Chains A and B, each alone.
Chain A
Amino acid sequence: MSDYNFAYLDEQTKRMIRRALLKAVAVPGYQVPFASREMPMPYGWGTGGVQVTAACLTPDDTLKVIDQGADDTTNAVSIRKFFEKTAQVATTEQTRAASVIQTRHRIPEEPLTADQILVYQVPIPEPLRFLEPRETETRRMHALEEYGLMHVKLYEDIARHGHIATSYAYPVKVEGRYVMDPSPIPKFDNPKLETAALQLFGAGREQRIYAIPPHTRVVSLDFEDHPFEASKADHPCDLCGARHTYLDEVITDDAGGRMFVCSDTDYCAQRRAEGHRGRLSPQEDAA
Chain B
Amino acid sequence: MTPLLSARSIAKFYGTRIGCTDVSFDLYPGEVLGIVGESGSGKSTLLNCLAGHLAPDTGEILFDTRTDGPRDTLRMSEAERRMLSRTDWAFVHQNPRDGLRMGVSAGGNVGERLMAVGARHYGNIRAEATDWLGRVEITDDRLDDRPSDFSGGMQQRLQIARNLVTGPRLVFMDEPTGGLDVSVQARLLDLLRGLVREMGLSAIIVTHDLAVVRLLAHRLMVMKSGHVVEQGLTDQVLDDPQHAYTQLLVSSILQV
**Residue ranges of A at the interface with B (Cβ–Cβ < 8 Å):** 131, 140, 144, 146, 148-149, 151-152, 155-156, 158-160, 223-226
Which of B37-45, B110-118, B167-175 interfaces with chain A?
B110-118
CB distance from A19 to the nearest CB of B (A): 28
Q: Please indicate the chain A residues that have their CB under 8 angstroms from the CB of B15 in the complex.
A: none
Q: Smallest Cβ distance from A223 to chain B, in angstroms? A: 4
Interface of B is mostly: helix
Given contacts A156-B105, A223-B120, A223-B121, contact A149 B82 (CB under 8 A): no
The chain A residue sitting closest to B125, CB to CB, is: A155
Question: How long is the Cα–Cα vector from A89 to B82 in the complex, in angstroms?
Answer: 51
Selected from B79, B115, B126, B143, the residue in CB contact (under 8 A) with A148 is B115
Question: Closest residue to B113 on the A side, CB-wise?
Answer: A148
Report how far A226 CA is from B79 CA in the complex, Å.
29
Q: Which of B104, B123, B126 contacts A152 (CB 8 A)?
A: B104
Beyond contacts A155-B111, A155-B125, A225-B121: 18 other A-B pairs, Cβ-Cβ < 8 A, are A140-B78, A144-B78, A144-B79, A144-B82, A146-B82, A146-B116, A148-B112, A149-B112, A152-B108, A155-B107, A156-B104, A156-B105, A159-B105, A159-B107, A159-B126, A160-B105, A225-B123, A226-B122
At the interface, yes or no: B227 with Cβ under 8 Å from chain A? no
B residues neighboring A (CB under 8 Å): 78-79, 82, 86, 101, 104-105, 107-108, 111-113, 115-117, 120-123, 125-126, 143-144
Name the residue on A nearest B81 (C-beta). A144
Instruction: Considering the complex, give the chain B residue whose CB is closest to the CB of A130.
Output: B103
Cβ–Cβ contact B115 & A155, under 8 A: yes
Are A151 and B120 in contact (CB-based, < 8 A)? yes
User: Chain A's nearest CB lies how many Å from the CB of B99?
Assistant: 15
A146 surroundings in chain B (CB, below 8 A): 82, 116
Nearest chain B residue, comparing its CB with the CB of A224 = B121
Residues of chain A contacted by B117 (CB below 8 angstroms): 148
- Give CA–CA (A155, B107) in the complex, Å: 9
A144-B82, A159-B105 as given contacts; A225 in contact with B112, CB under 8 Å: no
Shortest Cβ distance from B82 into A: residue: A144
The distance from the CB of A128 to the nearest CB of chain B, in whole angstroms, is 12
A155: contacting residue among B79, B82, B108, CB under 8 A: B108
- Please measure, in the bound complex, the distance between the C-alpha atom of A223 and the C-alpha atom of B116, giving whole angstroms: 13
Residues from chain B with Cβ under 8 Å of A148 in the complex: 86, 112-113, 115-117
A160-B125 contact, Cβ under 8 Å, with A148-B112, A152-B101, A223-B120: no
Which of B79, B86, B116, B120 has a CB less than 8 Å from the CB of A224? Answer: B120
Choose among B78, B105, B107, B115 the residue that contacts A151 (Cβ–Cβ < 8 A): B115
**Most chain A CB within a 10 A radius of its CB, from B82, B107, B115:** B115
CA distance A132 to B84 in the complex (A): 21
C-alpha spacing A112/B169, complex, angstroms: 53
CB distance from B212 to the nearest CB of A (A): 31
Least CB distance, A152 to chain B, in whole angstroms: 5
B122 touches A223 (CB 8 A): yes
- Residues of the A chain whose Cβ atoms lie less than 8 Å from the Cβ of B107: 155, 159
Q: Closest B-chain residue to A145, C-beta based?
A: B79
Could you tell me the distance in whole angstroms from the C-beta of A271 to the nearest C-beta in chain B?
39
Shortest beta-carbon distance, B153 to chain A, in Å? Answer: 23
Give Cα A152 to B100, complex, Å: 13
User: Can you list 12 A-B pairs with a CB-CB distance of less than 8 A?
Assistant: A131-B101, A140-B78, A146-B116, A148-B86, A149-B112, A152-B111, A155-B107, A155-B111, A159-B126, A159-B143, A225-B123, A226-B122
- Chain B residues with Cβ below 8 Å from A156 are 104-105, 108
A159–B133 Cα distance when bound, in Å, is 15
A152 to B125, CA, bound (A): 11
CA distance A226 to B85 in the complex (A): 29
A185 CA to B62 CA in the complex, in Å?
49
The 6 closest A-B pairs by CB, nearest first: A148-B116, A223-B122, A148-B115, A151-B115, A224-B121, A144-B79
**Assembled-state Cα–Cα distance A158/B105 (Å):** 11
Residues of A within 8 A of B123 (CB): 225
Separation in Å of the B60 CB from the closest CB of chain A? 23
- Residues of chain A lying within 8 A (CB to CB) of residue B121: 223-225
A155 to B123, CA, bound (A): 10
CA distance A192 to B82 in the complex (A): 35
Using Cβ atoms and an 8 Å threshold, which residues of chain A touch B125? 155
State A146–B80 Cα separation when bound (angstroms).
12
Q: Does A152 lie within 8 Å of B112, measured CB to CB? A: yes
Among residues of A, the one whose C-beta sits closest to the C-beta of B109 is A152
User: What A residues does B113 contact at CB under 8 A?
Assistant: 148
A155 CB contacts on chain B under 8 angstroms: 107-108, 111, 115, 122, 125
List, in ascending order, chain B residues with CB within 8 A of A152's CB: 101, 104, 108, 111-112, 115
